[in-house]
Amino acid sequence: MSADDVDDVSEMGPVDYLVLEFPGDRMTGEGLSRLLDLVDRHIIRVLDLAFLRKEADGTVTVLEIADLDGDGELDLAVFGGASSGLLDEGDLREAAAALRPNSSAGVVVYENLWAAPLATALRRNGARVVAGGRIPPEDLLASLEAAEAAAS
């Protein structure tokens, strides 16, 4: 994707990123069918996709899109051109800094297409996002358990 691929940024949905760490070389490609399903159903649009490997000594390598599960087929061929330019070397260094030694990671930047009509309508009325974030599942579970305990 390039700037030419976006008719009007004001029509885009929110853009998020995920850095998903895998211990060792255990990127099996198991979640790829779920990612493809989200793309096929126009829930998200993958803007950038990269893979990293951090060695025991801290050396980081950017991996080529490849056959992750070893079945002889390029699992990620559909994302071969997913490079909008949003994800740069500095972003990859920052993602790598969060990784433990002897791990691999996938970094994905994606547009939330499902939210584009809402975001567009709100922007047209002068609304703007002033804060946002993610609640990690562990924190959500802890909060729900605490609320349940308090209610008992």
pLDDT digits (tens, 9 = 90+) for 5-14: 445 677 888 8
Q: How many CB atoms lie within 10 A of CB 50?
A: 21
pLDDT tens per residue, range 16-35:
999 999 888 766 667 778 88
Q: CA angle, corner 87, sides to 94 and 55, nearest 5?
A: 45
Q: pTM, whole model, 2 decimals?
A: 0.77
Cβ pair 96, 52 in contact under 8 A: yes
Q: What is the pLDDT of residue 33?
A: 80
Cβ pair 49, 65 in contact under 8 A: yes
